[in-house]
Amino acid sequence: MNNKILKSSTATYQSGVAKADGKFYVTQGEVRFEPYNERAGLGPYTLTRSAIVKIEKSVGTGAGILPLTSDAITITLENEDTYDFIIANPDEWIRLLKH
């Protein structure tokens, strides 16, 4: 499997009210998120691209409810797990991940 990084960026993983800043990157076979502070318990996450069934724009929130930004994506896997990331230029990431 080719693990060459195709694109990377700083991102924020969001799970309800919990957030973690870190590095988000895509290789040919995986999507990875590595938090800057692993002690927070939010990552690292490795998502197999072949397991992704949906990727869509979403909304990053404050306190888990207040919309703060539309620069966010939600990745849904075959097992129905979802992962929310606040990331700049979400349309570019969606285009990349749909190929």
43 touches 67 (CB < 8 A): no
CA distance linking residue 90 with residue 1, whole number of Å:
25
Kindly report the pTM of this predicted structure: 0.91
Q: Over the stretch 54-84, which tens digit does the pLDDT of each residue have?
A: 999 998 887 777 778 889 999 999 999 999 9
7 against 60, higher pLDDT = 7
pLDDT at 2 over 90: no
